[in-house]
C-alpha cells in the first residue's frame, strides 16, 4: 500500500521507524538467534512418538532416519512448520542402555507455556503417569519439572514476558495451555568459566543473573528460546550417554553466510569445528565446547517443507537421497509407530 504523508513530520516519523526496523533486522542477521534445535536419545521409537505427540501435544514435523545409521529413526517434533526454537529431535535407538546425566552434558530442556496452564499440565501428567520431579521459581519464573518415559529431564516454564509464538494444538492440548517452543537449555559443568566464555565471546550472550551455582545467560538478538543456564557441579559424578540424555544443542543462525562467519570465529578461538554439513533441512557445523557439551550451529534455511508440503509434514518417511534406493530394506527394519 502506498503511504500518503500530509506534512514533513509524518515523512520524517515514517522513515525513522522504517530505519529502526531495518537496523533491527540487520542487527539480528549477524547474531546467534538463540536455540535452533535440541537432539536427545530415546530407547523406544513408538513410546517416544506417543509421548511427544499425544501427551505433550507436539507436531511430528519430520520422520526420517539417522544420517549415519539409517536403520534408526530421526524424529523431529515442533510447531506447525518446525520453526527454529521449537524443534526437539530424537535418535530412538531400540534397547539402548539408560544414560546418566552429569557434568559435561546438557541436562534439562525448558519449554515456555502460558500463565495459568500448570493446573492443566498437572492433571495431564497424572492421567498419563508422567513423573513430576519438582516445581518452584527460578529467576522470577515459575517452573514445573518432569521426565519423559526415558528419564529425559524437561521443565515447563512461565516466562516473565508472555511468549507470543503460535503453538501447535491438538484435540486435547489447546493453544491456551500448549507449549510455545523452547524457553531454555541447561548445561551442567564442572566449571562454568570456559563455557561461559564461548557464550559471551563467540555467541554474544550476556550474564543476566546468578542464583547459587546456576548462571543465566541470554541473548537480546531474539525474544524466545534465548536462555542458556549453566550449572556448576563440582561433585565427582560422571555422565554417561544413553537413553534419556541430550546428545547436542544447536544454536540458530540466519543462513549459510552467517554460519561460515561463526565458523571463522570458532576457529579463531582455537576450537576444532567441522566443515559445513548439509542436513537436508538446515546446514550445520559442530564443535565441542570446553566443558564437554557438543554444540551445533544450524541455519534457518531451507526448512522442513523443502521435501513435503506443510500439511503433510511428519506423515511420511523421508529419506536422505543417498538412502532412497534402499527404502524397502530400511522400512523393513524400522519399528512400527502405530
User: pLDDT (tens digit, 9 = 90+) per residue, 239-277?
Assistant: 999 999 999 999 999 999 999 999 999 999 999 999 999
The verdict on residue 113 lying in a domain is yes
CATH number of the domain bearing residue 305: 3.10.180.10
The verdict on residue 124 lying in a domain is yes
Contact 109, 91 (CB under 8 A): no
Contact 203, 144 (CB under 8 A): no
H-type alpha helices, 42-90? 45-50
Whole-prediction pTM value? Answer: 0.91
The verdict on residue 200 lying in a domain is yes
Rounded CA-CA distance 276/298 in Å is: 10
The verdict on residue 166 lying in a domain is yes
The verdict on residue 305 lying in a domain is yes
Cell of 224: 524466545
Q: What's the gap between Cα 248 and its chain centre?
A: 10
Cell of 274: 567441522
Q: Which domain holds residue 72?
A: 35-253+300-320
Cell of 317: 518417511
The verdict on residue 156 lying in a domain is yes
Per DSSP bridges, beta strands 246-253 and 105-112 are unpaired
The verdict on residue 304 lying in a domain is yes
The verdict on residue 54 lying in a domain is yes
Mean local confidence (pLDDT), 17-28: 49
Q: What is the pLDDT of residues 81-113, one digit of tens each?
A: 999 999 999 999 999 999 999 999 999 999 999
Contact 185, 174 (CB under 8 A): no
H helix count then E strand count, the chain: 6, 16
Cis peptide before 302 (omega within 30 of 0): yes
What number of residues does the chain have? 338
Q: Which residues, 6+ apart, have CB-to-CB distance to 324 below 8 Å?
A: none
Number of domains in the chain: 1
Rounded CA-CA distance 22/24 in Å is: 5
User: What is the pLDDT, as a whole number, of residue 2?
Assistant: 40
Helix or strand run (H / E) with residue 250: strand 246-253
Amino acid at each position: 500500500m502506498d503511504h500518503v504523508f500530509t506534512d514533513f513530520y509524518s515523512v520524517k516519523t515514517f522513515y525513522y521507524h522504517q530505519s529502526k526496523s531495518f537496523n533491527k533486522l540487520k542487527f539480528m542477521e549477524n547474531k546467534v538467534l538463540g536455540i535452533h534445535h535440541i537432539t536427545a536419545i530415546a530407547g523406544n521409537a513408538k513410546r517416544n512418538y506417543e509421548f511427544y505427540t499425544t501427551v505433550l501435544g507436539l507436531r511430528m514435523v519430520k520422520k526420517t532416519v539417522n544420517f549415519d545409521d539409517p536403520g534408526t529413526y530421526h524424529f523431529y517434533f515442533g510447531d506447525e512448520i518446525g520453526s527454529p526454537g521449537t524443534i526437539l529431535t530424537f535418535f530412538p535407538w531400540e534397547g539402548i542402555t539408560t544414560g546418566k546425566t552429569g557434568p559435561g552434558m546438557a541436562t534439562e530442556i525448558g519449554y515456555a507455556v502460558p500463565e495459568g496452564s500448570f493446573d492443566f499440565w498437572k492433571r495431564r501428567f497424572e492421567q498419563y503417569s508422567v513423573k513430576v520431579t519438582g516445581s518452584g521459581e527460578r529467576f522470577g519464573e515459575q517452573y514445573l519439572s518432569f521426565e519423559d518415559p526415558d528419564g529425559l529431564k524437561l521443565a515447563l516454564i512461565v516466562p516473565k514476558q508472555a511468549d507470543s509464538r503460535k503453538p501447535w494444538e491438538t484435540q486435547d492440548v489447546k493453544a491456551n495451555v500448549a507449549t510455545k517452543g523452547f524457553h531454555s537449555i541447561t548445561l551442567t559443568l564442572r566449571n562454568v568459566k570456559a563455557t561461559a566464555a564461548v557464550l559471551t565471546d563467540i555467541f554474544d550472550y550476556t550474564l543476566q543473573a546468578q542464583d547459587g551455582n546456576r548462571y543465566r545467560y541470554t541473548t537480546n538478538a531474539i525474544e524466545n528460546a534465548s536462555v542458556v543456564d549453566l550449572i556448576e557441579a563440582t561433585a565427582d559424578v560422571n555422565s554417561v550417554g544413553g537413553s534419556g540424555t541430550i546428545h547436542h544443542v544447536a544454536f540458530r543462525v540466519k543462513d549459510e553466510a552467517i554460519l561460515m562467519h561463526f565458523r571463522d570465529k570458532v576457529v579463531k578461538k582455537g576450537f576444532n569445528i567441522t566443515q559445513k554439513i548439509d542436513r537436508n533441512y538446515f546446514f550445520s557445523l559442530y564443535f565441542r565446547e570446553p566443558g564437554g557439551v557438543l554444540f551445533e550451529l544450524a541455519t534457518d534455511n531451507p526448512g522442513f517443507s523443502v521435501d513435503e508440503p506443510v500439511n503433510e509434514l511428519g506423515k511420511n518417511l523421508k529419506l536422505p537421497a543417498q538412502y532412497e534406493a534402499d527404502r524397502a530394506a530400511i522400512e523393513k527394519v524400522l519399528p512400527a509407530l502405530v
